[in-house]
């Protein structure tokens, strides 16, 4: 007997013994193929209404996981479910399946087993679509008990054993499908607008495109450290320089920072760049992408969250300016030229803690987060940010000290951000040199990427750029936490 066998719970040992016995009797617990003729969904759709107590004369073989059993003396019921969540009832009666197969069923079947059954399609006396079984076998014997179906598993178990979660909870299966539904909608929406999808490096020699702490790794062949990318921005801009004037990428970014209900160390990201467009065009496209994704996933723009609340994503969205909205909230006109002492005094009087290292613009953003964003009633674009927090964005065409950048807030978190991209290579160099000088003290600042600057020096057309968190899009569509939107989020080993 193996160590594993010794450590198994009582219920696991019983299942292991059943497996041994099945194999010893020359039957198969894990056959290489199963004689399936129909999926459970096909049976359901081909026989939508069989009158109670009647049979059809048609025979099928279906396979599924046993999720409900009810045995009586000479008649056994089981609910078999397919991976799509569709179920059909199997009925094993003494007169159809015979004494031996009925006894074996009662002896060997546990909740969670995957089986195939052959028999006539009909309906039970209660009118439930059923297979009247005359032959059955295992597709795969399950060796572990499932959780009870009537109580929620705790969140940790759901995350650590997503396979069990997927078996037990329709919502978990729906999330897996919704996620890929949203991705597929984004790809098709962008493709319809003539955007080309590309793939750019995840292993990078320089961190760039955002300010965040990177994960580092080591490449043995070149004996050099590499970074997992924190953003694809600098590579996608190289694409625009090269003439891919509408380009996007959907891929994973990695940031070595805190994890909470809105942050995951690896997260899905869409970035798209559109030449001959500005940040307002990018905002409009972003709204359309999200609305089309909501329509594709939820079937409506009045999106219902898991808590039952309805969130209207339709129509135009609110659009405010950072300085305008903060000025209104504090009751005093502030601008990028407002002296720091005054900003600090405003933060102080509104209960916003100030870190002395923060730049002036950061103080205004803090005021926004604490005074303005909590009052948003729907998706809201916040326009025009201070230059000192945004080194890759073009200066505002009208107001000194601002850049053409927006953030999109949905449900209180940042869902997307967009720029009129900085394309003047000389200004970009100045900004990046300034950043690089801070890299010595700030491990999130970007080092100088000479190759990126060389690309810009070849001439990049005026462009809009947008980044949107995929996980956060799913959060906005469902109301779930980020770890529920990710099939297998990182968990610490036990």
Partner RNA sequence: GGGCCUCUAGCUCAACUGGCAGAGCUGCGGACUUUUAAUCCGUAGGUUGCGGGUUCGAGUCCCGCGGGGCCUACCA
Q: Is 314 in the site for RNA (CB under 7 A)?
A: no
Q: Segment 109-138, which members bind RNA (CB under 7 A)?
A: 110-111, 124-126, 128, 130
> Which residue do the tokens 């900085």 mark?
422
Q: Is 374 in the site for RNA (CB under 7 A)?
A: no
- Residue placing its CB nearer to RNA in the complex, 267 or 297: 267
Query: CA of 411: how far to CAs of 267, 408, 416, 472, 479, in Å?
Result: 18, 10, 12, 10, 8
Site string for RNA, 375-394 (x = CB under 7 A): --------------xxxx--
Which helix (DSSP H) or strand (DSSP E) does residue 300 occupy?
Answer: none
Compute the least distance from the CB of residue 209 to RNA, in Å: 7
Q: Is 218 in the site for RNA (CB under 7 A)?
A: no
Answer for which of 258, 308, 374, 459 binds RNA (CB under 7 A) is 258
Q: Is 286 in the site for RNA (CB under 7 A)?
A: no
Answer for which of 189, 211, 463, 485 binds RNA (CB under 7 A) is 211
Give the residues across from 90 on adjacent strands. 78, 131
Site string for RNA, 437-476 (x = CB under 7 A): -------x-x------------------------------
Q: Is 373 in the site for RNA (CB under 7 A)?
A: no
Compute the least distance from the CB of residue 311 to RNA, in Å: 19
Q: What are the φ/ψ torsions at residue 231 (nearest 5 degrees)?
A: -170, 150
Answer for which of 85, 98, 145, 401 binds RNA (CB under 7 A) is 145
| Size (the chain), residues | 494
Q: Is 329 in the site for RNA (CB under 7 A)?
A: no
Spell out the residues 6+ positions from residue 247 whose beta carbon is closer than 8 angstroms to its own.
Answer: 195, 196, 197, 198, 236, 239, 240, 272, 273
Dihedral sign from CA coordinates of 464, 469, 472, 474: positive
DSSP 230-281: S-SHHHHHHHHHTT--EEEEEEEEE--S--BTTB-SEEEEEEEEEET--HHH
CA atoms within a 13 Å half-sphere pointing along the CA-CB vector of 62:
32
Site string for RNA, 11-40 (x = CB under 7 A): x--x--------------------------
Answer for which of 21, 44, 67, 93 binds RNA (CB under 7 A) is 93
DSSP 118-152: EEEEEE-TT--EEEEEEEEEEEE---SPPPPTTSP
Dihedral sign from CA coordinates of 150, 155, 159, 161: negative
Answer for which of 156, 199, 342, 434 binds RNA (CB under 7 A) is 156
Chain residues that interact with RNA, rule: CB under 7 A: 9-11, 14, 68-75, 77, 79, 89, 91, 93-95, 107, 110-111, 124-126, 128, 130, 145, 147-157, 209-212, 231, 255, 257-258, 260-261, 263, 353, 355, 389-392, 407, 414, 417, 435, 444, 446, 481, 483, 491-494
């Amino acid at each position: 007997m193996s160590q594993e066998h010794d450590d198994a719970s009582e219920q696991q040992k019983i299942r292991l013994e059943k497996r041994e016995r099945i194999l010893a009797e020359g039957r198969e617990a894990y056959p290489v193929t199963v004689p399936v003729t129909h999926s459970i969904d096909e049976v359901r759709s081909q026989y939508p209404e069989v009158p109670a107590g009647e049979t059809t004369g048609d025979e099928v073989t279906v396979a599924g996981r046993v999720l409900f059993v009810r045995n009586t003396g000479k008649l056994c019921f089981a609910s078999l479910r397919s991976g799509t969540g569709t179920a059909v009832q199997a009925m094993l009666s003494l007169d159809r399946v015979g004494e031996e197969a009925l006894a074996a069923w009662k002896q060997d079947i546990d909740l969670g087993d995957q089986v195939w059954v052959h028999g006539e399609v009909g309906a039970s006396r209660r009118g439930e679509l059923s297979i009247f079984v005359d032959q059955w076998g295992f597709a795969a014997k399950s060796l572990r008990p499932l959780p009870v179906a009537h109580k929620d598993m705790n969140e940790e178990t759901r995350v650590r054993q997503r396979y069990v979660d997927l078996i037990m909870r329709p919502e978990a299966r729906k999330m897996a499908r919704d996620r890929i539904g949203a991705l597929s909608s984004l790809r098709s929406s962008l493709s319809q607008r003539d955007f080309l999808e590309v793939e750019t490096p995840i292993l990078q020699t320089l961190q760039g495109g955002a300010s965040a702490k990177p994960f580092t790794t080591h490449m043995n062949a070149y004996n050099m450290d590499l970074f997992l990318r924190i953003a694809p921005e600098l590579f996608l801009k190289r694409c625009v320089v090269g003439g891919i004037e509408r380009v996007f990428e959907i891929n994973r970014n990695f940031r070595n920072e805190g994890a909470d209900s809105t942050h995951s160390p690896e997260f899905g990201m869409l970035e798209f760049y559109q030449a001959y467009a500005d940040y307002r065009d990018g905002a409009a496209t972003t709204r359309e992408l999200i609305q089309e994704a909501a329509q594709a996933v939820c079937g409506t723009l009045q999106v219902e969250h898991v808590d039952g609340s309805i969130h209207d994503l339709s129509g135009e969205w609110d659009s405010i300016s950072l300085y305008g909205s903060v000025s209104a909230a504090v009751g005093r006109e502030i601008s990028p030229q407002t002296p720091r002492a005054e900003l600090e005094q405003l933060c102080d009087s509104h209960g916003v803690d100030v870190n002395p290292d923060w730049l002036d613009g950061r103080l205004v953003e803090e005021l926004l987060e604490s005074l303005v964003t909590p009052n948003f009633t729907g998706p809201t674009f916040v326009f025009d940010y201070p230059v000192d927090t945004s080194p890759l964005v073009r200066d505002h065409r009208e107001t000194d000290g601002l850049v053409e950048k927006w953030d999109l807030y949905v449900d209180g978190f940042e869902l997307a951000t967009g720029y009129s991209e900085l394309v003047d290579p000389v200004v970009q160099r100045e900004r990046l040199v300034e950043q690089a000088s801070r890299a010595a003290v700030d491990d999130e600042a970007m080092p100088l990427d000479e190759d990126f600057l060389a690309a810009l020096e070849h001439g990049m057309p005026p462009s809009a750029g947008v980044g949107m968190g995929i996980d956060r899009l799913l959060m906005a569509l469902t109301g779930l936490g980020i770890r529920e939107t990710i099939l297998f989020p990182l968990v610490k080993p036990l």
